[in-house]
């Protein structure tokens, strides 16, 4: 019983010492995070044309004509869209090489055709008319890529909200830490805040496939409008604060 009493007294002494542990001047590093989510309001589409012909000039002429028609269609369907042509290419198409008997020189390669192509990038915030715009252009161009995101104006506005959300989370965590240490939040002095993760975007985008029915009736009536779901974008941010208790 004597030894038990000594052990109990020692345990109480350790607990009392822990409770009276001084936290004055303690520097605490506090991580925090915040994020905002917004529906995508901008689309970037890449449309292209490609022609193949034995005559290089004929292939180039058809590709140039179709791209010109496609640009006119896009400008008419969405006058506010930003257009930028890119990736013009011309390269020969060669037949499969036949085996050459040993000791005989390989004959020079002669192209059997020429392939000419070009693409155009369209950036627009007119998402309601996007299916109609794409369908109109698909009469002469092919849709190669489509992605949704946030317009610069929306991104700037959300960046302000993202900073506010991250700073709020930092203050909440500082209050929780102060409570756990038996201190008042007013005893905590925030010395530095390091905001990190700018531009560290996590995109959640869902796009349903475009439907193109290539029968005679639909070809005469034009391309059926594709279906798109713009989805949303989540912008996260992290911060690290250094807090010193008085």
Let me know: does 30 contact 177? Beta carbons within 8 Å: yes
Both 31 and 60 in one domain: the answer is: no
Residue 15: its pLDDT value, please? 46
Both 206 and 241 in one domain: the answer is: yes
Closest CA to 158 of 231, 44, 230, 237: 237
Which helix (DSSP H) or strand (DSSP E) does residue 87 occupy? strand 82-93
Distance (Å, whole) CA 90 – CA 59: 9
Q: What is the CATH number of the domain that holds 51?
A: 3.30.70.360
Average pLDDT by consecutive 10-residue portion of the chain (246 residues)?
Answer: 48 48 86 93 96 96 96 96 96 85 79 95 96 95 95 92 93 92 90 68 40 38 83 91 91
Residue 104: its pLDDT value, please? 78
Residue 221: its pLDDT value, please? 52
Residue 73: its pLDDT value, please? 97
Q: Which domain holds residue 65?
A: 43-94+110-147
Both 125 and 85 in one domain: the answer is: yes
Residue 191: CB partners within 8 Å, gap ≥ 6? Answer: 27, 242, 243, 244
Q: How many domains does the chain have?
A: 2
Residue 118 lies in a domain: yes
Q: What is the pTM of this model?
A: 0.70
Both 133 and 191 in one domain: the answer is: no
Distance (Å, whole) CA 173 – CA 159: 21
Residue 98: its pLDDT value, please? 75
Residue 222: its pLDDT value, please? 67
Residue 198 lies in a domain: yes
């Amino acid at each position: 019983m004597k030894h038990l009493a000594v052990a109990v007294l020692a345990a109480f002494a350790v607990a009392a010492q822990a409770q009276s542990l001084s936290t004055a001047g303690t520097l605490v590093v506090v991580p925090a995070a915040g994020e905002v989510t917004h529906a995508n309001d901008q689309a970037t589409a890449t449309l292209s044309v490609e022609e193949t012909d034995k005559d290089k000039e004929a292939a180039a002429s058809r590709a140039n004509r179709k791209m010109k028609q496609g640009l006119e269609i896009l400008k008419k369907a969405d006058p506010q869209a930003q257009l930028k042509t890119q990736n013009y290419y011309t390269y020969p198409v060669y037949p499969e090489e036949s085996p050459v008997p040993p000791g005989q020189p390989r004959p020079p390669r002669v192209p059997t055709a020429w392939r000419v192509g070009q693409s155009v990038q369209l950036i627009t915030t007119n998402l309601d008319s996007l299916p109609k715009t794409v369908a109109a252009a698909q009469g002469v161009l092919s849709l190669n890529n489509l992605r949704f995101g946030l317009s610069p104006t929306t991104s700037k506005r959300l960046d302000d909200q993202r900073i506010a959300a991250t700073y709020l989370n930092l203050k909440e965590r500082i209050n929780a830490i102060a409570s756990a240490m038996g201190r008042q939040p007013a005893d905590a002095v925030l010395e530095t805040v390091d905001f990190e993760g700018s531009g560290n975007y996590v995109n959640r985008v869902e796009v349903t496939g475009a439907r193109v029915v290539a029968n005679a009736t639909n070809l005469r009536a034009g391309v059926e409008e594709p279906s798109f779901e713009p989805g949303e974008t989540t912008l996260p941010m992290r911060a690290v604060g250094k807090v010193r208790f008085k």
